[in-house]
Amino acid sequence: MNRILLDQNVPYPIRTLFPDREVKTAYQMGWNALGNGELLRAAEAEDFAVMVTCDQNIRHQQNMATRRVGLVVLSTNNWNILRDRADDIRRSVEELAPNGYAYVECGLAPKRRRTGPELEM
């Protein structure tokens, strides 16, 4: 079975995008204290096919060519934005080759307008 691991920075509702797959979080696996390299090794040891993360730096920190687990990086961890890109996320995970890499550009959350006495004129 193609198992999916969600890094601890990925919103929990992402798991609902994959009803036919076994989806676990790093926290559920007891791996929430592991660094990126250790987490990828643990995922491989437990036969996860794909790890989904919002960590923008992981690709530059790890040599994915030597990995058996694929990596999907999301551009944000804002669930309201990710929900709107559900089809792109699902497709990226489903089409990912072993030890492959995919970046899903989902956009960014709108910046909050700051209000307060210091901004009033």
Q: Which residue type sits at 68?
A: R
In this prediction, residue 112 carries a pLDDT of 64
Instruction: For residue 109, name the pLDDT band (cuts at 50, 70, 90).
Output: low
Instruction: For residue 110, name the pLDDT band (cuts at 50, 70, 90).
Output: low
Task: Report the predicted TM-score, pTM, of the whole model to 2 decimal places.
Answer: 0.85
Q: Express each pLDDT in 3-21 by its tens digit.
A: 999 999 999 999 999 999 9
Please provide the average confidence, as pLDDT, over all residues in the chain.
Answer: 88
Q: Express each pLDDT in 54-91 by its tens digit.
A: 998 887 776 677 788 999 999 999 999 999 999 999 99
